[in-house]
């Protein structure tokens, strides 16, 4: 039997990946539009489109609605230490050599559900402040942030500019309290809905990490609830709860 031929889209995918790996298209760079890619790689638009789509699914490229297709920045590695300690996004970015950013979508008052009131030890009929933002690293969207905290004591956040700043530092300034630890954290898989896709500049249905967090203040009291949606191809969660593995190439394992 003859050797099975490699599909043309796979050849284009391999060639484009090689050009990315060798620096022809550097991280954050916009790749040529489809007609130009057709000429460069000698393939039809359907073939080019499939190759690009698969590279997007693998996180090598990312499509930004209305802007084009870009080479993905290196994945952000976030360290989860000891279960209860957390590393904030700003610190994660700086640890990865990236510039943190934030774009406010909503800053609104919402009624507290029975479960939220119980969790945050609030009275019946309490009102929460909901802050929704898109967090970015080097201006690339990474996740949609949703923070829910008591309006009482933090109402002045409504008048503060929460773009491109740490909301935790803003909480300290507004109410004298900020997250110092994690009481509960869960991570599940989700898919981007139409609203999330539009705000994050990704495709509908793109895989995401959904993280639910209950933050404590320095006194160990529940302070706020986080419901975050991370783009799955742009983020890695890591835990170093045991022996520190010095000089071992973890990313190559």
Residues written for the chain: 253
**Tens of pLDDT along 146-204?**
999 999 999 999 999 999 999 999 999 999 999 988 888 888 999 999 999 999 988 88
Cα–Cα distance for residue pair 111/128, rounded to 1 Å: 6
Q: What is the pTM of this model?
A: 0.69
Domains of the chain: 8-71 (1.10.10.10), 76-243 (3.40.1410.10)
**Tens of pLDDT along 202-247?**
888 988 999 999 999 999 999 999 999 998 877 776 665 554 555 5
The dihedral sign for the CA sequence 169, 172, 175, 181: positive
């Amino acid at each position: 039997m003859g050797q099975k031929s490699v599909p043309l889209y796979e050849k284009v995918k391999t060639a484009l990946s090689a050009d990315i790996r060798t620096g022809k298209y550097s991280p954050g760079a916009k790749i040529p539009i489809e007609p130009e890619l057709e000429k460069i790689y000698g393939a039809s638009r359907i073939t080019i489109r499939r190759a690009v789509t698969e590279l997007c699914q693998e996180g090598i490229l990312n499509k930004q609605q209305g802007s084009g297709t870009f080479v993905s920045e290196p994945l952000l590695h976030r360290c989860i230490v000891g279960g209860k300690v957390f590393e904030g996004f700003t610190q994660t970015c700086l640890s990865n050599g990236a510039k943190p950013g934030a774009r406010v979508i909503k800053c609104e008052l919402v009624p507290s559900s029975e479960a939220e009131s119980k969790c945050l030890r609030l009275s019946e009929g309490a009102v929460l402040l909901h802050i929704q933002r898109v967090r970015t690293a080097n201006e690339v969207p990474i996740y949609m942030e949703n923070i829910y905290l008591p309006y009482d004591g933090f109402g002045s956040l409504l008048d503060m500019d929460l773009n491109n700043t740490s909301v935790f530092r803003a909480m300290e300034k507004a109410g004298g309290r900020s997250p110092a630890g994690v009481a509960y954290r869960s991570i599940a898989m989700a898919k981007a809905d139409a609203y999330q896709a539009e705000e994050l500049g990704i495709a509908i249905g793109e895989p995401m990490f959904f993280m639910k967090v209950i933050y404590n203040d320095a006194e160990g009291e529940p302070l706020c609830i986080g419901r975050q949606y991370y783009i799955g191809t742009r983020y890695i969660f890591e835990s170093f709860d045991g022996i520190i593995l010095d000089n071992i190439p973890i990313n190559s394992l």
